[in-house]
């Protein structure tokens, strides 16, 4: 059967917020490569003194577009940056740009967000909640609007263990409209001091304000052709635009990078939990398919009840992999193709026991870091390892609520969306998690980290060099382990003799 999604996007004008982000780039690239869109407007804000023209030029030079430009050399010419800021009143839009969007845009992908778990509440409310309201208000005035996809997260309702594709306003301590009103009237400092009161059972401001953003859509956008896409933890690309593409060290990518670098050896996590990662290209495909489906209005039951549909992309219960196997598979791939920038022999352990973790970070991280810093001082270099570990431990502690237990994510709507698609669309916009080859995917992940994070091409020469380094570090690791055991054993013997 012929594609239905590709013709839907033909000659469409699309607005993408968050286009400079990880998923936003992939959505934009996929639209350009697989469809014949007429125009893509990307909302961009000046950053660190750089205007949007400079940011846009740098954005176009990103390696994610290499495959696209080989098959469509002029593809990026139809992308136009729009100066705006989701943190500003009215989205920071100039009047002329606003009129352009209201007149031309037919499909909206709203992905702009702060993904920081430690963002002060007053800031997180502005970008993750108020901006949703402003986007809804903008969309309501769009003359040609056919669909609006809001990108959230499967963890937006992580206060429950089993999360269905529905709204959860009952877990919010304060309604979104009331909290936004308070954020406008009270000082930022006071709002931040009251964070724990407002958050309730939510572990951080990110998940809380994303849940509030969903409530804004539930309460204020039910009359629009709008839906919510909730991806789980987003990983490297699986197939497109090239296998393994990644940028940034968010989530489990940072963990795998730290293991391959030889710096991360211990983490507080439950190895029996299900690995929650999904490929970024699958996420982009679900977003695009959702945009098509919302316009098609296949979900007549939801349309009649005026409840915006929610689509979750998560690990299939029939095709999952435990964290222990995920780490082992990744480690095996690293030993097959070790990178040449590791600083020590890679090893990794997990524990759910707070006491063991507290003791372990000294043995696995802080004591080795002390001696590494000592070596750096002797060489006349600045000691950095203890500071690196301090920051790493702070970041890892933030993820503990998500790595210590299993979450069950319902994806009934997404599975139904997959069944609605034609066979050709399933080839072009693949996201079938039930048939994902996990062993292959983790090889792709590690190869992507090697290429895009360590900047080391996968060549025979680099692999051979990496294996020599790995062997050398392994011998050093054995000697160091023996030395530590000897010192601790001797110290214990003396203490026993004394007491």
pLDDT of residue 299: 44
pLDDT of residue 280: 97
Task: Give the residue from 46, 39, 35, 45 showing the smallest Cα distance to 15.
Answer: 39
Of residues 48 and 426, which shows the higher confidence score? 426
How far apart are the C-alpha atoms of 399 and 469, rounded to whole Å? 31
Average pLDDT over residues 85-96: 93
Of residues 239 and 371, which shows the higher confidence score? 239
Q: Is the pLDDT of residue 46 over 90?
A: no
Taking the model in full, what pTM does it have?
A: 0.93
Average pLDDT over residues 244-250: 88
pLDDT digits (tens, 9 = 90+) for 293-333: 999 874 444 445 678 999 999 998 889 999 999 988 998 89
pLDDT of residue 499: 67
Q: What is the DSSP letter of 275?
A: P
Q: What is the longest distance spanned by two Cα atoms in the chain?
A: 86
Q: Is the pLDDT of residue 220 over 90?
A: yes
Average pLDDT over residues 442-457: 94
Of residues 116 and 480, which shows the higher confidence score? 116
Phi, psi dihedrals of residue 37, rounded to the nearest 5°: -65, 155
Of residues 371 and 146, which shows the higher confidence score? 146
Phi, psi dihedrals of residue 152, rounded to the nearest 5°: -115, -140
Homologous superfamily (CATH) for 5-250+276-321+406-445:
NAD(P)-binding Rossmann-like Domain (3.40.50.720)
How far apart are the C-alpha atoms of 462 and 460, rounded to whole Å? 6
User: What mean pLDDT is reported for the chain?
Assistant: 91
Q: Is the pLDDT of residue 273 over 80?
A: yes
Sequence-ordered list of residues with C-beta below 8 angstroms from that of 77, at least 6 positions apart, any chain: none
pLDDT of residue 304: 55
Q: What is the DSSP letter of 456?
A: -
Phi, psi dihedrals of residue 463, rounded to the nearest 5°: -65, -45
Report residue 131 as tokens: 């901006």
Q: What is the DSSP letter of 421?
A: S
Cα dihedral across residues 44, 50, 51, 56: positive or negative: negative
pLDDT digits (tens, 9 = 90+) for 195-219: 999 999 999 999 999 999 999 999 9
Percent of the chain with pLDDT over 90: 68
pLDDT digits (tens, 9 = 90+) for 374-392: 888 888 888 888 888 888 8
pLDDT of residue 144: 94
pLDDT digits (tens, 9 = 90+) for 152-173: 999 999 999 999 999 999 999 9
Of 55-59, 76-80, 294-298, 299-303, which one has max mean pLDDT?
A: 76-80
Report residue 79 as tokens: 């992308």
pLDDT digits (tens, 9 = 90+) for 128-143: 999 999 999 999 999 9
Residue 498 binned pLDDT confidence (cut-offs 50, 70, 90) = confident
E strands, 412-482, where? none
Average pLDDT over residues 446-455: 94
Residue extents of the structural domains in the chain: 5-250+276-321+406-445, 335-404+452-498
Percent of the chain with pLDDT over 70: 98
First to last CA, the chain: 82
Phi, psi dihedrals of residue 265, rounded to the nearest 5°: -125, -10
């Amino acid at each position: 059967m012929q594609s239905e999604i590709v013709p839907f996007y033909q000659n469409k004008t699309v607005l993408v917020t968050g286009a400079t982000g990880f998923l936003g780039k992939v959505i934009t690239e996929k639209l350009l490569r697989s469809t014949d869109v007429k125009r893509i407007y990307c909302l961009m804000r000046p950053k660190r003194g750089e205007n949007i023209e400079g940011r846009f030029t740098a954005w176009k030079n990103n390696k994610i577009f290499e495959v696209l430009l080989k098959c469509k050399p002029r593809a990026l010419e139809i992308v136009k940056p729009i100066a705006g800021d989701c943190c500003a009143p009215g989205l920071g839009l100039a009047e002329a740009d606003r009129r352009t969007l209201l007149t031309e845009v037919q499909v909206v992908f709203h992905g702009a967000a702060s993904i920081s778990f430690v963002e002060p509440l007053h800031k997180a409310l502005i970008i993750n909640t108020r901006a949703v309201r402003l986007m809804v208000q903008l969309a309501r005035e769009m003359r040609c609007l056919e669909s609006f996809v809001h990108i959230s997260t499967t963890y937006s309702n992580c206060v429950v263990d089993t999360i269905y594709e529905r709204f959860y306003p009952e877990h919010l301590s304060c309604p979104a409209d009331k909290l936004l009103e308070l954020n406008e009237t009270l000082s930022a400092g006071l709002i931040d001091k009251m964070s724990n009161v407002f958050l309730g059972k939510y572990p951080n401001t990110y998940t809380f304000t994303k849940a509030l953003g969903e409530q804004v859509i539930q309460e204020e956008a039910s009359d629009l052709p709008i839906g919510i896409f909730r991806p789980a933890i987003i990983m490297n690309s699986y197939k497109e635009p090239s296998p393994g593409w990644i940028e940034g060290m968010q989530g489990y990518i940072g963990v795998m990078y730290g293991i391959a670098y030889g710096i991360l050896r211990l983490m507080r996590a439950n190895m029996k939990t299900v690995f929650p990662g999904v490929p970024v290209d699958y996420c982009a495909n679900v977003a695009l398919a959702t945009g098509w489906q919302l316009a098609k209005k296949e979900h007549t039951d939801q349309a009649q009840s005026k409840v915006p549909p929610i689509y979750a992309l998560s690990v299939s219960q029939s095709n999952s992999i435990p964290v222990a196997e995920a780490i082992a598979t990744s480690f095996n791939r690293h030993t097959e193709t070790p990178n040449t920038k590791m600083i020590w022999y890679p090893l990794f352990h997990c524990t759910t026991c707070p006491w063991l973790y507290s003791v372990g970070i000294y043995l696995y991280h802080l004591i080795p870091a002390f001696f590494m810093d000592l070596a750096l001082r002797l060489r006349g270099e600045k000691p950095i390892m203890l500071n690196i570990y301090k920051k790493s431990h702070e970041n890892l502690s933030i993820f503990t609520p998500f790595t210590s237990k299993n979450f069950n994510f319902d994806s009934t709507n997404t599975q139904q969306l997959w069944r609605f698609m034609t066979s050709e669309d399933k080839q072009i916009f693949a996201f079938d998690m039930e048939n994902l080859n996990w062993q292959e995917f983790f090889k792709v992940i590690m190869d992507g980290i090697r290429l895009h994070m360590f900047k080391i091409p996968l060549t025979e020469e680099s692999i051979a060099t990496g294996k020599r380094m790995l062997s050398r570090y392994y011998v050093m690791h054995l000697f160091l382990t023996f030395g530590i055991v000897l010192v601790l054993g001797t110290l214990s013997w003396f203490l026993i003799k004394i007491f």
